[in-house]
Amino acid sequence: MKRLVLCLVLAACSRPAGAPPAFTAPVTLGGRAVPAAALEHGRTLYTQYCRPCHGDAGDGKGPAAAGLTPPPRDLRLGVYKFAAVPAGQLPRDADFARTLRQGLHGTAMQGWQVPEAELDDLIQYVKSFAPRWRSETPGDEIAPSPDPWAGRDAEALARGVRVYHGLAQCAVACHPAYVTRAEIAAFTKELTGIELREIRADVYQPVAKDSDYGVKILPPDFTFSPPRGGDGLADIYRAIASGIGGTAMPTWKNVLPEADLWALARYVQSLVALRGTPGADALAQRLREQPVWTPAPLPAADAATGN
């Protein structure tokens, strides 16, 4: 016991400016009492793996952070993008572990092979930066259902392209479209009964959206950059079903039927697979050469009233 107290005192004396004070008693994080010794060990691991980018204070302003795009996460916010819980809720430890192990595509966050015996201490220390963890608990897991499209790839893609452009309306104000304007209008009418009167002029470009991170976030063009949370089918399903915390990407679980969630995930994965291939060039050429689209004429009664 005396040795532990001495270690905590020495840690407090050597603590960098801005770092959390030494832990001398258990801290409740996410409804769990975490021992002080585990948090101090987590601090050591954080200094080794995370501090260069995320900083001593967890504010995303470490010595290596300057010029990184996107900027390192400010861990004090307690807002997390990639988790198998409804967007905006606190992640589970398994979500932290997955991000630490896999990293995030297209960012400076690489995958770290933290020893299994030390992983939990690091996760708990990362939580300690955000006040939310002292009063809230993790969200309920969004578990994937069985994929109903196994062995029916063509059917899945045919449904997925319609869900993306016609039902979920992914290209209305966020992601790029990957079909012609006439097809967007046809899929929308087929799945919603709505007759489109206009389609945004830059529908083949993503639209920068506000976020809870203090920066605009550009939704991915899937034929150009892979999803940051992973490009496996299960990863894409999770991002669609759970949403992306702190961004405009909503939770689609229980909004779309499970078959449509999986069809959408399979379609997005097919777009990711086009990256850097002749197929991506062929798709871009098809969209450039599409005929001019004009909305269908209004019915006579609506045209007369202007509705």
The pLDDT, as a whole number, for residue 42 is 97
Assigned superfamily of 12-134: Cytochrome c-like domain (1.10.760.10)
The pLDDT, as a whole number, for residue 297 is 81
Q: Which residues of the chain have pLDDT under 70?
A: 1-17, 300-307
Residues 6+ apart with CB under 8 A from 57: 18, 19, 20, 76, 129
The pLDDT, as a whole number, for residue 15 is 62
Could you report the per-residue pLDDT of 170-221, keeping only the tens digit for each? 999 899 999 999 999 999 999 999 999 999 999 999 999 999 988 888 999 9
Cβ pair 132, 37 in contact under 8 A: no
The pLDDT, as a whole number, for residue 302 is 57
Q: Do 12-134 and 153-298 show the same overall fold?
A: yes
The predicted model scores a pTM of 0.86
DSSP 107: S
Alpha-carbon Rg for the chain in angstroms? 23
CATH of domain 153-298: 1.10.760.10
Q: Could you tell me the residue ranges of all domains in the chain?
A: 12-134, 153-298
